[in-house]
Amino acid sequence: MARGRSGKFRRISCGVVLGLMVLCLVGAGISAWSNRSLPQGPEALDSFDPLDKTRLEETLHLKSTLGEAVWPGLGQANIPVSLHNQQYSFLTGYPGRPPVDWEVVPGEEFAGQPYYRKIDEEAQNFAIQVGDTWVAGMATKSEVDRFIVELFRGFLPPVIEQIFPYRLLLQPTEVQIGGVLHESFHVFQAQNVPARLEAAEKAHRLGERYWSADSKAIDLWKEEMNLLAEALEAEPDEEAAELARQFLAHRQSRRQQTGLAPEMIEYERLMEWEEGIAKYVELEFLRQAFETQDYQSLQAMKNDPSFKAYQTFEQRWKQEIIQMKLSANQEGEVSFYQTGMAQAFLLDRLGPGWKTSAFGENLFLEDLLKEALSK
C-alpha cells in the first residue's frame, strides 16, 4: 500500500510540474506576442505626436473644469506647459514670444495657437523657468513608456528580454496627466508665493544631512508615517482626528527626543508644503474626475488605449497608501510627498477651507492641522 501511494504521489507531482511548465510556456508565448504590439511611440520626434497632443488637451480640460474645486484660483491660472520626448521639448501656452532658443514648430498648432520646440535631450520633470516665466515640465506619455521598456530591456538577459511582460510596467495615461498637474501646481506656487517656493528649493540641499540622522530618529519617523497612513484609512472622522492628534504629538516628541535643529524642522515643513501639497493636488484631480458624475473627458480620449476614464482611481489610492507604508522604511524626500499629501487629505476632512490659509506666512500643513483639531 505504501509503494502504491508513493507511486500515485509521484504521478500527481509529475503531472503538476508538467502542467506548470506548459502554463509557463503558454504565458511566455502570450507575453512575447503581446510585446509585439507594445506602443511604438511617435513616428517623428520634432513635433507633437497627435496622441500626446490629445493627452495634453485633456489635462488642460481637466484643469479648467475641475481646477477651482481642487484649489481656489488654480483652474483659471495661466500655466504654460512644456512636454518633452527623448530629443525635443515642446512649449505650449507661453505668453508672448519665448527666448531665442525656442523656435515655432512649422505648420503645427496647439489649441489654435503656434507652439514652440527646442532640442533638449536632458529635459526633466519639474517646474522650470523659460525666460521670466515659470512652466510645468513633464515627459510625454510616449516617452515614459519608451524609457521604461528600454530600461528593463537593458537589464534582462537576451532570452528573458524577448518574453518579459513589459506591458505590466506601463502606467495608464492618468498617471502622466496627474504628473503634469503636479508640476503645474509648483508653477502656481511660484506665481503666488515665490519667496516660499524659493526657500523650499534651497532647503533641498539639507536632505543628505537630514537623512544621515541616527537610527532612533529614523525609527520614530516610521512610526509617525504609519500614524498618518492609519488616519487616512480611518472611516469615522472622529477616529481620523484622534490618529491625527497622535501624529502631531509624536512629531513634537520626535523632534524633542532627537534634538532636531530648527533648520531641519523648517526643512520638513517646507518639503511637505512644496511637494506634499503638489502630490495632493495630483491625486485630488484624479479623484474629482472619478467621482464627479457630470465630468466628461474629451471625446478624442477614446482613441487612447492607455486611458481608463479615471476609473482606476480607487486602485491608485490603495497603491498610494501601500507606498506610504513602504516609504516609512526608506530614506529620502519621497517621504515628504507622502506625509504632506496625507495631511492635506486629512485637512479636507477635518478642516475644510484650509486652502485659503495654506499660502499664509509661516503657516504650514502641521499648523493648519493643529488648528483644525483645536476647533
**6 domain residue, yes or no:** no
| CB of 48 closer than 8 Å to CB of 106 | no
Q: Which set of grid coordinates corresponds to residue 66?
A: 475641475
Helix axes 173-192, 50-70, angle to 10 degrees: 50
Whether the per-residue pLDDT at 329 is higher than 70: the answer is no
Do residue 221 and residue 352 come from a single domain?
A: yes
Cβ atoms of 64 and 184 closer than 8 Å: no
95 within 8 A of 88, measured Cβ to Cβ = no
* Nearest residue to 323 via CA among 237, 315, 348: 315
Q: Which of 166, 190, 214 is the last residue of a domain?
A: 190
| Cα(165)–Cα(31) distance, integer angstroms | 5
Residue bearing the bigger pLDDT, 224 or 43: 224
Judge whether 339 lies within some domain: yes
pLDDT value of residue 151: 80
In a domain, 44, yes or no: no
Higher confidence at residue 180 or residue 10? 180
Point out the least confidently predicted range of 70-84, 122-136, 325-339. 325-339
Owning domain of residue 113: 50-190
Establish if 22 belongs to a structural domain: no
**Structure confidence at residue 153 as a pLDDT band (50, 70, 90):** confident
Same domain membership, residue 244 and residue 159: no
Q: What is the spatial distance between Cα 101 and Cα 105, in angstroms, rounded to a whole number?
A: 12
Are 152 and 139 contained in the same domain? yes
Q: Which residue's C-alpha cell is 487612447?
A: 304
| pLDDT for 240 beyond 70 | yes
Tell me, yes or no, whether 26 lies in a domain: no
172 & 295 share domain: no
Spatial contact of 112 and 60, defined as CB atoms under 8 Å apart = no
* pLDDT reported for residue 213: 64
The edge-to-edge listing of strands for the beta sheet with 88-92 is 103-104, 116-119, 88-92, 81-84, 133-139, 127-130
Average pLDDT over residues 335-351: 97
Q: What nine digits make up the cell of 24? A: 509557463
Domain-embedded: residue 10: no
Is 129 inside any structural domain?
Answer: yes
- Average of per-residue pLDDT values in the chain: 87
Domain stops at, among 145, 162, 190: 190
Quote the CA–CA distance of 263 and 206 in Å, as a whole number.
9
Residues 171 and 201 in one domain: no
**Whether 243 and 316 share a structural domain:** yes
Contact present, 372 and 349 (Cβ < 8 Å):
no
Are residues 302 and 321 located together in one domain of the fold? yes
Q: Are residues 222 and 344 in the same domain?
A: yes
Residue 15: inside a domain: no
Sign of CA dihedral 323, 326, 328, 333: negative
The domain total for the chain is 2
Instruction: Tell me: do 219 and 306 sit in the same domain.
Output: yes
**Are 263 and 363 members of one domain?**
yes
Contact (CB, 8 A) for 220 and 183: no
Nearest to 250 by CA among 278, 214, 226, 274: 226
Q: How many CB atoms lie within 10 A of CB 176?
A: 26
Q: Note the Cα 311 to chain centre separation in Å.
A: 17
Are residues 243 and 314 both part of a single domain? yes
In the prediction, which pLDDT does 38 show? 56
* Residues forming a β-bridge with 30: none
| The pLDDT of residue 22 | 36
pLDDT band of 15, cuts 50, 70, 90: very low
Given a contact cutoff of 8 angstroms between Cβ atoms, the answer to whether 150 and 40 are in contact is no
Looking at the fold, whether 140 and 277 belong to one and the same domain comes out as no
| Last residue in a domain, options 152, 172, 190 | 190
